[in-house]
Structure 1
């Protein structure tokens, strides 16, 4: 498993353009989030075709999100260990190295509105882990309340010590949420995250709370200070972080660099804590209350209408990251009202999404489509057990034409049921199977999510999730793959039949119609040789001036320094892939070996100039058939190295793959030998 993660991580880094193309890398609950110097260098098609990658989402002009699902942290840790990535890491525990704002995928031509939503997204993203853990603890306590073991809403003084501790486990996350937000928001902006955390923390200290109750007015420095309860608040720390950024920026301009470490945080705290207590904190609470009151008014006018609007909006908000403000309002509602009216209807969207993915898994099992079955299963488990929709969204929903046609009816039907029962949440939770008890009425919510799930599920099962062209292409690819596998063994048997018959006749026996089975390249003990697909000098892979090829990350083999200008099939094969740029071709030989011929290094950047492709994907070719013609003089004139790696890409299936250097390799020169396990 670890080896597979390492190999996939190296593949991802290569396909985003290598470490030199990565400006920074972070990760969230499901996605690797790259900032690239040149987004065009990323091979998004190659990334999307990898079975470990659930989806690829460009963000702005420089960002690229690679969706990996729940194991994203493992891939992140492997990538940051790779050469050249040591200074690119921006994980949740990494401090900023400069005081510049990190605009992520929103630069230059994008408006401040775009950055505002990204700011919210990257502020809440690191806290998701704590929120998810706390939400499940809340679910445990709500279940205990349901079974009559304790009163979830009872004052803490009336709770037994065991439950007091359990309540403290989840309250710690929500009560100190302003401190966490102060840190993450400040880091996103480029201000000091610990000073950002200290500002809202000051408003949660016993000394501040001892000044009076929420709503009281006290006089500090002769000025009236309105006291508020800042526990679980969202907007005050956000505004404080923005204020801190500008204060720090100004202080660094006037304070000598030699003493900034002492006096910048000193003056920042001296300025920002009173400013937050007097102005930004009350204003932030007013913003939160205003938005909450507006949605509450809509809910008061018609909970039924709001319950339909919310799940119908979410499928369009989540892909753009615009759902984060609503998450803030959910927390705000719980802090002010004691309940939330958004999470229940939101569950209709989530379960409609999971229903689509469950339908895709069912269809994929029926079609024996292993890749989509794996993608769908991963998304379904992350959704049903964790309430996380991103793997389903990016792995399935945004990749196929008809998915939203199957999703939205489920959202609507589930929203109607939520509206009928006027479902509310008693705590902030991720809407999964495990958190159903946190909704009230629990039975009405369960019916609503079931209606959403099965509406979308049956729409996919009966009407599919792809357009006609998409479905036809997928089925054709599956059929071609099966045919290739089925043809390999019979072809080998047929080629051995004449020899077997001759041997029988020479021995005085009678030849039979059934030949003895012949081993393919993948059968135990089979030794197979491959001839060169290109004329030239054969050298070791280690001589390729590209670390991915030189270290055999994509497979063992040999490299050819071309003297000719044609790539031919070294044996009968099916074309698995041929690049539009003409610089590479992938083959599955009839004997089971999978081969990649990559003409030159970085020649993809020529955009097809200097190359002519003679074959198409899924085409069957015979030994010696012309695959690609290239112009060596033109390619060299553009500054590209023509050395051509020839790789066995399914190397792990063999006991050994050995390349044979040769001073002059022709089309009949054996350059690679494979030995099966």
Structure 2
């Protein structure tokens, strides 16, 4: 009775058990055919058990607790399944640092790497990233309503809207109004404290009990209200426990929860050290709320509002005394105000301007920021299309639609820009260009409170100046992001490698099961192949053969002479090795380039009649992480024999102490009647070295 081939999940679990469990895995990577484990203790790996697994072609123990498991063409899918196992959530268990490494890390921090700044941006990013779905959903609802408003179907901002449109408002306000609670939850989770405590503290100052005290019509005793002369807003104070507490509507605020959770984390973790573990569930949340709700209501909340109001009054003075400076300053400030929620008080100032002087002077320069933001998103979208990054393409498409149609910057900001630090400097250049144009050309005003989108361009005056400014801001940011990338070279190499692995796994999954079993050469097929010498020539009656040409010029050797036990055993199919004379690597046959390793060291080609060819440049060159390899082709591309695939710096390979021998094998050799090799000769590019027959 045959043992059934385990499913992907079962195989992944068996492999992980075979290497000693997740706790024995320091890190895991993969190349074109193998899983590459860095283990804490390689002695814990059960080599015999792993070799016996269906789906595993072989194992290779290496020095330094490194361990390889040969999977074949399905390696990307197996790798992804292992990394998605609950026990591998962190990608492995880092080994404890030595004293020397700890000291080196401390020295590195003192050399001005601004770790605090990195941590700050990570805190912001991780507090908002999980909200991208609902933010995009709400933003698109606003965009649709804005289109209808621009077409005159409905006055989106009228005070006497029908119940239908009030309900539509509720659909998107549910996200923006309760954003502080959601941010508090994520921020607390980021700082590794109970996220529900963070949410509960923020929600306390947003309940009807709290907001019911706001406004001059409040019937709660002890509440007094005054009017801010500059902003025209009501400021109310309640006397609680005999102390004055400023009342504010915290809907939409994000600075307050970010600041509150940072302090809450100190309180929460301090209480954990005080109370025994068996009573922490009750007393740590209790005292955290008892302390932080009053601190938030009395101190942190008003502090955020005071900062915003003070900023609004300062900008009003600046516009009256230095309008050109103001036009440049606004678009440069907004990228920093929006993430902290400090831009909300400016909305009140915009409305006051319209109601008192008949026009507003903030929204015009602000448009330069918005369109610089959208331009940066457009640059990311173009790059994601170019590099076939599906998830980023979807995020950027939705964010750009919400921006251009609805004037909403948050999806771009929280979903993309705060995640990649290279974007901000480039976006700021676009902000500067737009602001300079607005200032030099005399400013831009508007008589309406409008989202700065494509649909609201006509409400700004002079419209030509506004259009030129936002167009320049948009295309400047887009060009800078597109031509310099939003990822660092290292991040781009990693992202491309992950993309290639995912695409290879998807293609593998699309192949029917019987064909997939043939593509991934099983242990039984390997056992039935004698790899001790060249394969005998096919009998005279054999079908016409397909010639595989030399992918590199050099000396052809048999696989059993290759200094790699996996290739030498024939586990990855029959073929040859070539000691390269130069670094040009070309396609050995016509077909589809189904796999291109992100590091440039391996390529997989499938011919029209299903013959699979693997070209592997050097031994263990995946460890070079692409250094010395220049890839000249892309996965999914149709190639013809002789097309350039890569250029390799052989001196760099030798300097890294890796053999330069280039392998060409046929992974699905078991499917073919014969694979004939021509060894022991010097060949030039394009000279036949292998013939395969069906």
TM-score scaled by structure 2?
0.51
Q: Distance in 2 between matches of 1:135 and 1:216?
A: 31
Q: Distance in 2 between matches of 1:454 and 1:237?
A: 35
Matching of residues 128-139 of structure 1 within 5 Å: 128-139=132-143
Tell me how large the CA RMSD over aligned residues is: 6.5
Retained in 2: the 8 A contact 1:306–1:419? no
Q: What SS class does the counterpart of residue 267 from structure 1 fall into? A: helix
Match in the other structure for 2:445: 422
Count of aligned pairs between the two proteins: 480
Deviation of residue 199 (structure 1)? Answer: 0.8
Deviation of residue 290 (structure 1)? Answer: 2.8
1:330 to 343, 363, 383: 343
Match in the other structure for 1:122: 126
Q: Distance in 2 between matches of 1:148 and 1:572?
A: 61
| Cα gap change, 1:595 to 1:166, in 2 (>3 Å) | same
| Cα gap change, 1:458 to 1:145, in 2 (>3 Å) | closer
Retained in 2: the 8 A contact 1:247–1:268? yes
Deviation of residue 251 (structure 1)? Answer: 0.9
Match in the other structure for 1:453: 471
2:188 matches 1:181: no
Matching of residues 478-493 of structure 1 within 5 Å: none
Match in the other structure for 1:203: 205
Match in the other structure for 2:39: none
Retained in 2: the 8 A contact 1:538–1:664? no
2:313 matches 1:293: yes
Retained in 1: the 8 A contact 2:551–2:585? no
Match in the other structure for 1:512: none
Q: Distance in 2 between matches of 1:659 and 1:380?
A: 50
Deviation of residue 269 (structure 1)? Answer: 1.4
Q: Distance in 2 between matches of 1:406 and 1:222?
A: 51
2:401 to 385, 391, 411: 385
Gaps of 5+ in 2: 1-24, 30-76, 91-107, 216-224, 226-234, 353-359, 404-410, 485-543, 634-641
Retained in 1: the 8 A contact 2:381–2:397? no
Match in the other structure for 2:83: 83
Q: What SS class does the counterpart of residue 529 from structure 1 fall into? A: strand
Retained in 2: the 8 A contact 1:584–1:598? yes
Q: Distance in 1 between matches of 2:317 and 2:78?
A: 49
2:260 matches 1:244: no
Retained in 2: the 8 A contact 1:292–1:333? yes
2:244 to 210, 224, 228: 224
Retained in 2: the 8 A contact 1:179–1:200? yes
| Cα gap change, 1:111 to 1:588, in 2 (>3 Å) | closer
Q: What SS class does the counterpart of residue 329 from structure 1 fall into? A: coil
Retained in 2: the 8 A contact 1:185–1:241? yes
Q: Distance in 2 between matches of 1:145 and 1:532?
A: 62
| Cα gap change, 1:200 to 1:359, in 2 (>3 Å) | closer
2:605 matches 1:601: no
Deviation of residue 198 (structure 1)? Answer: 1.0
Deviation of residue 566 (structure 1)? Answer: 4.7
Match in the other structure for 2:302: 282
2:293 matches 1:273: yes
Q: What SS class does the counterpart of residue 368 from structure 2 fall into? A: helix
Retained in 2: the 8 A contact 1:537–1:661? no
Q: What SS class does the counterpart of residue 559 from structure 2 fall into? A: strand
Retained in 1: the 8 A contact 2:617–2:660? no
Q: Distance in 2 between matches of 1:671 and 1:83?
A: 37
Retained in 1: the 8 A contact 2:617–2:663? yes
Q: Distance in 1 between matches of 2:153 and 2:656?
A: 79
Retained in 1: the 8 A contact 2:328–2:439? yes
Deviation of residue 372 (structure 1)? Answer: 8.6
Retained in 2: the 8 A contact 1:414–1:449? no
2:559 to 519, 534, 537: 537
| Cα gap change, 1:379 to 1:165, in 2 (>3 Å) | closer
Q: Distance in 2 between matches of 1:257 and 1:200?
A: 26
Q: What SS class does the counterpart of residue 175 from structure 2 fall into? A: helix
Retained in 2: the 8 A contact 1:305–1:419? no
Deviation of residue 573 (structure 1)? Answer: 6.2
Match in the other structure for 1:162: 164
Q: What SS class does the counterpart of residue 238 from structure 2 fall into? A: strand
Q: Distance in 1 between matches of 2:301 and 2:428?
A: 44
Flag the structure with more relative contact order, 1 or 2, with Cα contacts below 8 A and sequence separation at least 6: 2
Deviation of residue 262 (structure 1)? Answer: 2.8
Match in the other structure for 1:43: none
Q: Distance in 2 between matches of 1:659 and 1:405?
A: 63
Q: Deviations over 1:377-431 (max 9, x none)?
A: 999966752437689999x9979xxx9999689635754599632259846x6x6
Match in the other structure for 2:37: none
Q: Deviations over 1:235-278 (max 9, x none)?
A: 22122111210111101111122332232222211221122112
Gaps of 5+ in 1: 1-18, 24-76, 91-105, 365-369, 467-524, 551-555
Retained in 1: the 8 A contact 2:267–2:288? yes
Q: Distance in 2 between matches of 1:440 and 1:379?
A: 28
Q: Distance in 1 between matches of 2:678 and 2:236?
A: 90
Deviation of residue 164 (structure 1)? Answer: 1.1
1:411 to 434, 453, 470: 434
TM-score scaled by structure 1?
0.52
Q: Distance in 2 between matches of 1:182 and 1:149?
A: 37
| Cα gap change, 1:664 to 1:152, in 2 (>3 Å) | closer
Matching of residues 61-100 of structure 1 within 5 Å: 81-83=81-83, 86=86
1:234 to 254, 260, 276: 254
Q: Distance in 1 between matches of 2:586 and 2:240?
A: 86
Retained in 2: the 8 A contact 1:659–1:671? no
Q: Distance in 1 between matches of 2:678 and 2:279?
A: 67
Retained in 2: the 8 A contact 1:657–1:673? no
Retained in 2: the 8 A contact 1:248–1:268? yes
Deviation of residue 203 (structure 1)? Answer: 0.9
Retained in 2: the 8 A contact 1:557–1:646? no
Q: Distance in 1 between matches of 2:198 and 2:362?
A: 29
Retained in 2: the 8 A contact 1:583–1:600? no
